[in-house]
Amino acid sequence: MPRPIEIISVGNELLIGKILNTNAQWLAKRVTSLGLDVRRINIVGDDVEEISNALREAIQRNPSFVITTGGLGPTFDDKTLEGVAKALQRRIEVQDQALRMVEEKYRKYVEEGRMERVELTPHRVKMARLPDGAEPLFNPVGTAPGVVMKHNETTVIALPGVPPEMKAIFEESVVPLLKQAAGNVTFFETSIDVTGCMESEIAPLIDRIMHDNPYVYIKSHPKFEERTPHLEFHLSTTADNSEVAKKRVEKALTQLSEVLQEKGGKIKPSKPSIN
Amino acid sequence: MPRPIEIISVGNELLIGKILNTNAQWLAKRVTSLGLDVRRINIVGDDVEEISNALREAIQRNPSFVITTGGLGPTFDDKTLEGVAKALQRRIEVQDQALRMVEEKYRKYVEEGRMERVELTPHRVKMARLPDGAEPLFNPVGTAPGVVMKHNETTVIALPGVPPEMKAIFEESVVPLLKQAAGNVTFFETSIDVTGCMESEIAPLIDRIMHDNPYVYIKSHPKFEERTPHLEFHLSTTADNSEVAKKRVEKALTQLSEVLQEKGGKIKPSKPSIN
């Protein structure tokens, strides 16, 4: 069974619909491809109570990992670590290694001529204030370090909200942890587009194919791209072996294609979704 | 105070990162512009237990509205109404008005030559199975009706996941309900882009401006568009009167602009985010 993971996105800009949650999609896709199972994504505002509640609720569901994004920067509304500390009932204090990471960044900015001198103002030191027992994760492209800590069986990871920083810390420091947890589990997926069929007509046939292929998940998505209504069928599975996963999906796809063609459907490979 | 609202997005395709959650962003933006306050967005898979848990948790936070998207169609994995019925401990049964809506749609498809005859198969009737006490909302562009029901102080609204269907039902049937609940409350926002400043340098000044403008929320977003790092400042407020809201934001913006220019920042109007 793939290990469960939850994502918590922090930011008022997400709750007012100012921006699309591309971070959550990117993380969900990466995490799934590494063989873990994203069980839930929560979006909360820049509020200590809300962040704390969302994390506490997530931890009660006992996932292997919770990854948060956003709220690690120097401003008053960067409140994620305060929320995490509250949820886990830990003190929050300046952590030496994190402070050295932050200081080193500002030293580099001085060298690059972006600042005159390193001044560790309270707003900058704030980025090194970590919950007790947490470790910083090096940020190769920005200032605020990521954070990792264990709580019972759950590893809590906090990443910045700026996409290049989030992605860089994820690839460098989080992927190894997830790979180790996932073991050999592989996720395999494929999609086809079909015109000339109605979803309600195909629904009972899908039930039959899924019954014959109990490890393959088949989902139909009505689409309206380029003004042509069509159905996309997405097939996916998780297995301990990538060959097994691929074969399983291919067998179900063959069966599905036959059934769709019998019903007069025209099949073509699906275009990949926007990333 | 703006009325609280929560959004629950249902769909495995969101948890595997196959698609971006454009529905949640669209809804969050529309709902905010109508003067309500999106408190939380939850994303769960096509699973009765998960849907039920997410709704039960949302209702315990006592929002005025919960809007769900996805999972209303004819396939086996369209499970939203079953999850809603479970969360609210209601029976789920074929509802006459909903069945007439579904039947009428298939009659139209026959007239358009898309089907030979109206056959109300179990998978089609499923779209008219509603929790006890729920009312269907007419779907102008698809088959599955939306659903509305009251539970204590919360109005629960279920919308389809196909974006044009979700938007059409929202505009036709949900907007009037939200407007009535919001009263005169207005949301006003504006953004500027600034180059030549560091976020950590500006952070203490923002604290001061927010202290002077207690009803205006100011948030800085580091951006990297077109390879130029810059800061976007987003200012927003909610008020009972649109003139008041606008004036409040403009006063804070004037103060912010002065402070940024003193620090050597170059200001230009912000580009709108992608919708």
Check which CATH number belongs to the domain holding B218 and give it.
3.30.70.600
B275 lies in some domain: no
User: What is the bridge-based pairing of β-strands B186-195 and B230-239?
Assistant: antiparallel
Quote the number of domains for chain B.
2
Q: Is residue B38 located within the same domain as residue B163?
A: yes
Does the CB of B211 have a partner CB in chain A at under 8 Å? no
B262 lies in some domain: yes
Portion of chain A with pLDDT greater than 70, in percent: 97
CA–CA distance, A205 with B73 (Å, rounded to integer): 15
Q: Is residue A21 located within the same domain as residue A152?
A: yes
Residue B191 exposure: Cα atoms within 13 Å on the Cβ side: 18
Instruction: Please enumerate in sequence order all residues whose Cβ is within 8 A of that of A197, keeping only pairs 6 or more positions apart, or say none.
Output: A231, A260, A263, A264, A265
B274 lies in some domain: no
Q: What CATH number has the domain bearing residue B112?
A: 3.40.980.10
Cβ B226 vs Cβ B189: under 8 Å:
no
| For residues A138-145, average pLDDT | 96
**A236 and B189: CB-CB below 8 Å?**
no
Asked which of A109-113, A193-197, A271-275, B132-136 is least confident by mean pLDDT, the reply is A271-275
How many residue pairs bridge chain A and chain B with CB atoms within 8 Å of each other?
182
CA–CA distance, A34 with A36 (Å, rounded to integer): 6
Contacts of residue B26 in chain A, CB cutoff 8 Å? 17
Give the chain B residue whose CA is nearest to the CA of A120: B200
Give the chain B residue whose CA is nearest to the CA of A30: B17
Q: Is residue A66 located within the same domain as residue A126?
A: yes
Does the CB of B263 have a partner CB in chain A at under 8 Å? no
Q: Is residue B27 located within the same domain as residue B141?
A: yes
Give the chain A residue whose CA is nearest to the CA of B188: A16
A221 lies in some domain: yes
From the list B20, B40, B76, the residue facing A274 with the nearest CB is B20
Determine the residue among B16, B118, B211, B230 to mutate to test chain A binding: the one whose Cβ has the most chain A Cβ atoms within 10 Å.
Answer: B16
Does the CB of A123 have a partner CB in chain B at under 8 Å? yes
pLDDT at B226: 62
Q: Which residues of B162-184 are buried (b: 16+ CB within 10 A; e: fewer)?
A: beebbbbbbeebbeeebeebbee
Residue A91 tokens read as 């003190």
| DSSP labels, chain B | -PPEEEEEEE-HHHHTTSS--HHHHHHHHHHHHTT-EEEEEEEE-S-HHHHHHHHHHHHHT--SEEEEES--SSSTT--HHHHHHHHTT--EEE-HHHHHHHHHHHHHHHHTTSSSS----HHHHGGGEEETT-EEE--SSSSS-EEEEEETTEEEEEE-SSHHHHHHHIIIIIHHHHHHHHTT-EEEEEEEEEES--HHHHHHHHHHHHHHSTT-EEEEEEE-GGG--EEEEEEEEEESSHHHHHHHHHHHHHHHHHHHHHTT-EEEEPPPPP-
Q: Is residue B26 located within the same domain as residue B153?
A: yes
Does the CB of A225 have a partner CB in chain B at under 8 Å? no
Res A63 pLDDT > 50: yes
From the list A16, A32, A114, the residue facing B32 with the nearest CB is A16
Other Cβ atoms less than 10 A from the Cβ of A49: the count is 13
Cβ A50 vs Cβ A44: under 8 Å:
yes
SS3 call for A79: coil
Average pLDDT, consecutive stretches of 10 residues, N- to C-terminus, chain B (275 residues): 95 97 98 97 98 98 98 96 98 98 95 89 97 98 96 97 97 97 93 92 93 95 78 95 94 96 89 49
- Choosing from A132, A147, A182, the residue where a domain stops is A182
Res A123 pLDDT > 50: yes
Q: Is residue B70 located within the same domain as residue B191?
A: no
Instruction: Please enumerate in sequence order all residues whose Cβ is within 8 A of that of B112, keeping only pairs 6 or more positions apart, or say none.
Output: none
Q: Is residue A149 located within the same domain as residue A80?
A: yes
Q: Is residue A141 located within the same domain as residue A228?
A: no
Q: Is residue B176 located within the same domain as residue B201?
A: no
Q: Is residue B158 located within the same domain as residue B190?
A: no
**A17 and B40: CB-CB below 8 Å?**
no
**A21 and B19: CB-CB below 8 Å?**
no
- Choosing from A121, A153, A182, the residue where a domain stops is A182
Q: Is residue A136 located within the same domain as residue A255?
A: no
State the average pLDDT for chain A: 94
Summarised one tens digit per residue, pLDDT across range A211-224 is 999 999 999 999 87
Contacts of residue B18 in chain A, CB cutoff 8 Å? 29, 189, 234, 273
**B27 and A17: CB-CB below 8 Å?**
yes
Does the CB of B208 have a partner CB in chain A at under 8 Å? no
pLDDT at A274: 41
pLDDT at A271: 66
A160 lies in some domain: yes
Look up the domain containing A162 and give its range. 4-182
Its pTM stands at 0.95
**B43 and A45: CB-CB below 8 Å?**
no
B44 lies in some domain: yes
CA–CA distance, B192 with B179 (Å, rounded to integer): 29
pLDDT at B212: 95
- Choosing from B182, B205, B238, the residue where a domain stops is B182
**A123 and B22: CB-CB below 8 Å?**
no
A97 lies in some domain: yes
Q: Is residue B232 located within the same domain as residue B99?
A: no
| For residues A247-273, average pLDDT | 89
From the list A25, A142, A207, the residue facing B17 with the nearest CB is A25
A80 lies in some domain: yes
Res A239 pLDDT > 60: yes
Contacts of residue A210 in chain B, CB cutoff 8 Å? 76
CA–CA distance, A215 with B271 (Å, rounded to integer): 46
